Structure 1
Amino acid sequence: MDTADVAPTPPMGWNSYDSFSWNVTEAHVKANADHMAAHLKHYGWQYIVVDWAWYYPGSGTESPNQDAALNPRLHLDANGRMLPDPIRFPCSSGTNGLKPLADYVHSLGLRFGIHLMRGIPRQAVTDNVPILGTSYRAAEIANDTTAAWLNLMWGLDMAHPGAQAYLDSLFELYASWGVDFVKVDDIAAPTYRESEVDGYRLAIRRSGRPMVLSLSPGPTPLASGEHVAANANMWRVVNDLWDNWADVDALFDKLRDWTPYRTMNSWPDPDMIPIGRLSQQGPVGPPRYSNLTPDEQRTLMTLWCITRSPLMWGGDLVENRASELALMTNAAVLAVNQRSTNNRELHGGPSCVWTADVPGTNDKYVALFNRGSSMANVSCTLPEKQALVTDLWSGADLGTANGTFTRTLPPHASGLYRLTPSR
């Protein structure tokens, strides 16, 4: 089974990182899965993803590094494969791994994902554990590359056959747990690791289980666009996104630049959506609701939808208020993300316009953005002389536009519309 047909539309889900950093627990995951099943599944939301260091013991606000003596010890099996911390994930006792948690998520009609750091644990290399099913050992297949922000792993020498065998053994295990989505970190930037991307894709295929392959962090180099689009389902176009307008604004140009590589099963990824209850146990700033204003939050969602970006929510779903839920459950807006075609920027700059086609019709979707700091009129020329205009966020009929369509928008605000030719 390959990555080729697992993401025909942009994946929609929840990732634990923005809410809980590496402190996420089984209880947190189940609570967010319950909320998604009860309130969001009907709208297409389906992935529950456990982010980094679920195999690291304890909890804390610092990055989960090891000291020079490789303490604290990670939870690994005899072949150097990561196993969950049994304190945070009590379902993993014995040889269960994360299978009981995946089974719970699946029982709700949802899909389950995990985060992996690129490579093999340094602890496994120091212990020189055997690579499952081979005569190779861990010290033979590692190189000295590691993430600047987390020292738990060494990279893999993909020229050595034992490296692919190790990846195959990982995905054999995680397929047995029922994993549907894998986010691989330290692989897209600051260096794009082409041979390792190939290795993860091959390991997924050999596992026999369909899995979405997501690459991070960013920015993935545009020069690697052809390779990444052919081998991954999602890849980050920026580094970590947080709840400030400058970071959101920078994404307009990034998402425009990646337009040639946006296609079925291959989606440029602007990162998790930093909306809702954030950083309750790290990683950035105090516990809070998003610092983005209501206009900025709607602009983010409008941009993600008109650019068909993956919708991976970062805020704790359990803490959603009516305003967050409204952003996540507008069926007309989500249809733009899931079913539009030919998505493209018409005008850039402070008054930015994107458009897309409505399949099976002559209608167009149009997104208008005021990226500036004062009120502005934002306009687009109609493809037809006249069009009936529907505001997708409110559902309101705005009447007929003639020749051009213009809206007056506050700073950092946006609108998303459907234009139906009237003659």
Structure 2
Amino acid sequence: MFFAIALLTSLHTTAANRDSLALTPPMGFMTWNKYKEDINEQLIRQIADKMAADGYAEAGYKYIFIDDAWQGGRDKRNNILPDPEKFPSGMKALADYVHSKGLRLGIYSDAALLTCAGYTASYGFEQQDAKTFAEWGIDYLKYDYCHAPSDSAVAHERYKKMADALQNSGRKIVLGVCEWGQLNPEKWARQAGGSLWRVSFDVRDMWKDIVKQGGMGIIDIINIAEPLYKYAGPGHWLDMDMLVVGLDGKGGPSSDLGGVGCTYTEYQTQMSMWCMFASPLAMSHDILHENEETRRILLNKEIIAINQDALGEVAHRVDVPGKCRVYLRQLSGNRQALAIMNPSDTPQRIQLPLSILGNTKEYNFRDVWEHKTTRQRKTWQGTLQPHETKVFTVTTR
């Protein structure tokens, strides 16, 4: 009996320690959607400079996530190496540079022998690779699941092995479980040591999947994430994959499988709903050559504040009549976030009874995109354009 209690206490302490690695959803820039395999240390340094100088770090985007294709094989002692042509100065020097800008560095591997793009992965070398990542100064590991068995028990085992290796590496490294949601990671990924886990296949730069070849549009991922809200909380998050905001159909992999681009109304909806669902925010556009509309969406401090709210609750859908969808999220300070989304292809008029918020007679509605505050009683009325989302922070008067 004593042993069982001690074991449960130890497991609870371990889970709490791992949760503390990402008490709010990680934010940063991920290389894959725009650059795919065309990455190098000069590019990463330029991105770090841009994020530090142009407001991204200040807004909360603290990570640069290096995705697949950085690897250069292993040395004679089986230590994993960066590609010497892409990263001639080595990963430690690059991590030091990123850290000097007030940022953190993430890296990528896979729970198999090869990564999704066919590069050296970490299965069988978990302890060794985790130690190497720690010595380099890595802060985050995106751990993919290509070429691995399609069995949730095996996935749990492989992810836990890497999580334990990271925990024993001597450095605090966040583990992102990238299993794509097919093996129900919401039921085991936190216990396996993940601070976040993917809920879907890869996002594409489109509103909706119409080619049915495995790509996911913005609304497709929202539909998948909706019923999973109870599984997320401080330190363990639903990962809805990268933001496609600003890609304009000109990305790399994000342009595959129907990824022809989105309107900026749709991009704003992605930002809105990723924040309402407390998903990690991983930008993936051409950050070195961006337009002001992209910056307006990605650097909106009011919507970011919802994503990063310390209470860590995730939005849930509220049943209301009509074609618009309504989502509520409890925020710290006795506030609520309210999102009203029109998923249809035609404008929709909505009369929303404010009884869904409680029994208060009057509310302050702060429109986080228009940056305006209004008083509302009994009903909120408005017209939403196709694929538009309104987001408000709500306080009682």
With the length of structure 1 as denominator, give the TM-score of the two structures: 0.79
Residue-by-residue CA offset, 1:341-378 (whole Å, 9 max, x unaligned): 443221388411111123122x3210110000101123
In the alignment, structure 1 residue 401 sits paired with structure 2 residue 387: no
| CA shift for structure 1 position 35 | 1.0
Quote the residue 1:226 is aligned against: 187
How far apart, in 1, do the equivalents of 2:381 and 2:144 lie? 42
Residue-by-residue CA offset, 1:121-149 (whole Å, 9 max, x unaligned): 5xxxxxxxxxxxxxxxxxxxxxxxxx7x5
Quote the residue 1:50 is aligned against: 66
- Which residue among 383, 394, 397 is the counterpart of 1:419? 394
Q: Is the 8 A contact 1:276 1:290 kept in 2?
A: no
- Closer, same or farther: CA 28–278 of 1 in aligned 2, 3 Å: farther
Q: Is the 8 A contact 1:18 1:278 kept in 2?
A: no
Quote the residue 1:95 is aligned against: none
| CA shift for structure 1 position 48 | 0.5
Mean CA deviation greater in 14-23 or 189-198: 189-198
How far apart, in 1, do the equivalents of 2:288 and 2:150 lie? 34
1:141-180 to 2 correspondence within 5 Å? 149-152=116-119, 156=123, 163=124, 166-180=125-139
- How much is the aligned-residue C-alpha RMSD, in angstroms? 2.4
Quote the residue 2:279 is aligned against: 309
How far apart, in 1, do the equivalents of 2:250 and 2:48 lie? 18
In the alignment, structure 1 residue 209 sits paired with structure 2 residue 209: no
Q: Is the 8 A contact 2:69 2:117 kept in 1?
A: no
In the alignment, structure 1 residue 35 sits paired with structure 2 residue 69: no
Three-state SS of the structure 1 residue aligned to 2:275 is: helix
In the alignment, structure 1 residue 410 sits paired with structure 2 residue 361: no
Three-state SS of the structure 2 residue aligned to 1:169 is: helix
| CA shift for structure 1 position 203 | 0.4
In the alignment, structure 1 residue 355 sits paired with structure 2 residue 328: yes
| CA shift for structure 1 position 395 | 0.8
Over the matched positions of the two proteins, sequence identity in percent amounts to: 26
Aligned length: 360
In the alignment, structure 1 residue 114 sits paired with structure 2 residue 103: no
- Runs of 5+ in structure 2 lacking a partner? 1-13, 209-216
How far apart, in 1, do the equivalents of 2:197 and 2:77 lie? 29
1:84-123 to 2 correspondence within 5 Å? 84-92=82-90, 98-120=91-113
How far apart, in 2, do the equivalents of 1:206 and 1:279 lie? 42
How far apart, in 1, do the equivalents of 2:367 and 2:392 lie? 5
- Closer, same or farther: CA 179–280 of 1 in aligned 2, 3 Å: farther
| CA shift for structure 1 position 229 | 2.4
| CA shift for structure 1 position 298 | 0.6
1:270-419 to 2 correspondence within 5 Å? 270-277=240-247, 282-285=252-255, 291-339=261-309, 341-342=312-313, 343-347=315-319, 350-361=323-334, 363-382=335-354, 383=358, 384-397=360-373, 399-419=374-394
Q: Is the 8 A contact 1:21 1:52 kept in 2?
A: yes
How far apart, in 1, do the equivalents of 2:49 and 2:332 lie? 33
Three-state SS of the structure 2 residue aligned to 1:4 is: helix
With the length of structure 2 as denominator, give the TM-score of the two structures: 0.84
| CA shift for structure 1 position 307 | 0.8
Quote the residue 1:130 is aligned against: none
Q: Is the 8 A contact 1:43 1:329 kept in 2?
A: yes
Q: Is the 8 A contact 1:219 1:238 kept in 2?
A: yes
Q: Which amino acid aligns with 1:169?
A: Q
| CA shift for structure 1 position 117 | 1.9
- Closer, same or farther: CA 53–10 of 1 in aligned 2, 3 Å: same
| CA shift for structure 1 position 254 | 1.4
- Closer, same or farther: CA 229–347 of 1 in aligned 2, 3 Å: farther
- Runs of 5+ in structure 1 lacking a partner? 56-73, 93-97, 122-146, 157-162
- Greater Rg by CA: 1
In the alignment, structure 1 residue 77 sits paired with structure 2 residue 75: yes
How far apart, in 2, do the equivalents of 1:200 and 1:18 lie? 25
How far apart, in 2, do the equivalents of 1:82 and 1:34 lie? 27
Q: Is the 8 A contact 1:237 1:269 kept in 2?
A: yes
